[in-house]
């Protein structure tokens, strides 16, 4: 009976309250999300229950540890004003132990106006993900805004075609490591979907990223990049998939003047090649007065390019 009454109360929240469109959703155990379209001056009633097991108990309530004398009983209704969510705990009598709790978070809809994370690119991409191969392990990162530097991850939801993708948030709170159970040799037919719920006090924002692994696979640095006579040579990245005949790379070679970096738009020489060596043309380039630059991408998927590795003055190589 108690469960039916509480679900009926939740249903009542799909309403228009004083001109503000709202809805209420249970995001996870003990966490309710109140979604509102306009936050300024909003006042929304929210039903709470201590639990069916405490139907006949003398129940009192606290908000963020502060007693609320006007709130008593197993089923109550609180008013959430603007961002005024909170942690509501129910107790066995005024000084009794905690019986249960419910955290109310507030999320602005439909645009999910973001203030917690900073965009990482011109495309307003807030989460960036990267992996060095197709084994299913990848890393995602984000940047919190200065005003919300204390924001934390409340929940991460990940899946690919209804199969879960498990993620572990790093202790820094600025990234996570995820695992997708995928065979490297299979063609990807479904994208990975990740939603990160960021919390700042009782404000909630959801950030979603959807992608194929092939769109984030970025080759690592090149071991043994060196000059042998007049030929530059290197090996495939140690983290790259094998056999290399199946997971082929396309290499982008660029030669720039000494003192310029690899992003120069005025190279002395530039080509895309498949071999792991490149002869330097002595007619075009004076010995020891140039910078040799190298990066790579998956040859078959044309995924993202790796970071540049380079050798300066044909002597010192930086990976």
pLDDT at 113 over 80: no
pLDDT of residue 18: 43
Which domains occur in the chain, in start order? 24-108 (2.60.40.10), 117-215 (2.60.40.10), 226-318 (2.60.40.10)
Q: Is the pLDDT of residue 70 over 70?
A: yes
Check residues 20 and 231 and name the one with the higher pLDDT. Answer: 231
Look at residue 75 in the predicted model and tell me its pLDDT: 93
Does pLDDT of 28 surpass 50? yes
Higher-pLDDT residue of 169, 247: 169
- The pLDDT assigned to 170 comes to 96
Average pLDDT on 96-123 reads: 85
pTM exceeds 0.75, yes or no: yes
For residue 308, what pLDDT is reported? 95
**pLDDT for res 10:** 45
The rounded percent of the chain whose pLDDT value lies above 70 is 88
Does pLDDT of 297 surpass 70? yes
Q: How many residues in the chain?
A: 319
Position 9 confidence tier, pLDDT thresholds 50, 70, 90: very low
């Amino acid at each position: 009976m108690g469960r039916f009454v509480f679900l009926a109360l939740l249903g009542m929240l799909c309403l228009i309250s004083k001109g503000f469109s709202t809805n209420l959703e249970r995001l996870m155990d003990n966490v309710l999300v109140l979604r509102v379209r306009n936050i300024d001056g909003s006042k929304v009633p929210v039903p709470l229950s201590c639990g069916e097991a405490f139907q006949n108990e003398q129940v009192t309530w606290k908000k963020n540890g502060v007693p609320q004398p006007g709130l008593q009983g197993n089923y109550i209704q609180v008013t959430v004003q603007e961002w005024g969510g909170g942690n509501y705990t129910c107790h066995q009598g005024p000084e009794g132990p905690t019986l249960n709790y419910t955290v109310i978070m507030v999320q602005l809809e439909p645009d999910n106006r973001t203030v917690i994370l900073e965009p990482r690119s011109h495309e307003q991409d807030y989460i960036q993900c990267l992996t060095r191969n197709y084994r299913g392990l990848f890393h995602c990162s984000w940047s919190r805004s200065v005003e919300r530097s204390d924001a934390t991850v409340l929940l991460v939801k990940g899946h690919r075609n209804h199969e879960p993708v498990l993620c572990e948030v790093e202790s820094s709170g600025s990234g996570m490591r995820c695992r997708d159970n995928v065979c490297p040799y299979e063609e990807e037919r479904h994208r990975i979907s990740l939603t990160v719920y960021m919390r700042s006090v009782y404000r909630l924002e959801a950030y979603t990223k959807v992608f194929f692994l092939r769109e984030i696979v970025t080759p690592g640095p090149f071991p043994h990049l060196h000059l042998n006579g007049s030929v530059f040579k290197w090996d495939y990245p140690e983290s790259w998939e094998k056999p290399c005949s199946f997971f082929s790379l396309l290499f982008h070679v660029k030669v720039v003047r000494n003192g310029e970096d690899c992003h120069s738009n005025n190279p002395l020489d530039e080509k895309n090649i498949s071999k792991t060596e490149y002869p330097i043309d002595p007619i075009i380039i004076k010995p020891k007065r140039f910078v040799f630059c190298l990066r790579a991408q998956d040859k078959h998927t044309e995924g993202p390019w790796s970071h540049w590795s380079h050798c300066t003055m044909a002597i010192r190589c930086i990976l």
